[in-house]
Structure 1
Amino acid sequence: MDPLHKKLICFLLILGGIALSGGALYGFWSLYHAYSTHERVVGVIQKTSTERVHRHRKVRFEHEMLIKYSTDKYGDCYVSKKYYWPFRQVGDEVTVLCRPQYTNDVRLPGDECWIWGIILACGLVCVGGAWVMLRPQKPGEEQNCN
């Protein structure tokens, strides 16, 4: 592989890593901001359902859970959310961030932390891979991107 291709790969890794890391940091900041503006309550999963959905040439399974949580102003509220983590069961407690005025506008910080953490890790791996390709080589080794 000639040095021009290696430089292009390094550039794309750095660009992708910065974009992924920036998006993840924005997601964490958004979640931090939600902790100050939303009410934090504990919800209980009342029902889970799995539905087989046929999309264009693909069969997908969509998982949905019904969460019950209590607020001071409105009492018991229910919200239905899709979930992607396989270990959710009826009766599990989840932390719910809900806005006091709009009770159906909820966020699940546990799930979001996992998502943003995975995206941040992928971004850091991309930047680290580019750094490894760009670092100075020992005198007897082949130069990568220089």
Structure 2
Amino acid sequence: MAAYFNVRVYGLLLNDNDELLVSDEQEYGMQFTKFPGGGLELGEGLVDGLKREFMEECNLEIEIVGHFYTTDFFVKSAFNNSQVISVYYLVRSVSPVNLVAKTVAFDFDGEGEVLQSFRWINLTALSIADFAFPTDKRVVELLQDEL
């Protein structure tokens, strides 16, 4: 398989209690915690891709507040032979947040190969160890530096 770039876009959504929304997921036989968002589709811009991902995953309309971070080191995908480039934005909800938030990691409803649940984590409790992927870990470091 040839190598290629995999462009991903994620949103950092804070609530009024200084809690950050994270997504617990199970896919490809792995469980991992990441930020809401995902892969850019061909012909799609970063902002439109992030808005689509939030609508698909969270049924939530968002707006971009500002750019937070773009991958600045080499990251090979954990799932295929691609180089991952991730862009993170600070986002704000335009509509009320009505998603079901869990309090325990990987507390999925139902069964299947692909599962997802959401949690709010207080910024002061955010830990690099909670995240699986190197770029998310870097974003947590940067968030902690701002506290």
For normalisation by structure 1, the TM-score amounts to 0.20
Q: Determine which structure has the larger helix proportion and give its number.
A: 1
Q: Which structure would you say has the larger Rg?
A: 1
Q: Determine which structure has the larger strand proportion and give its number.
A: 2
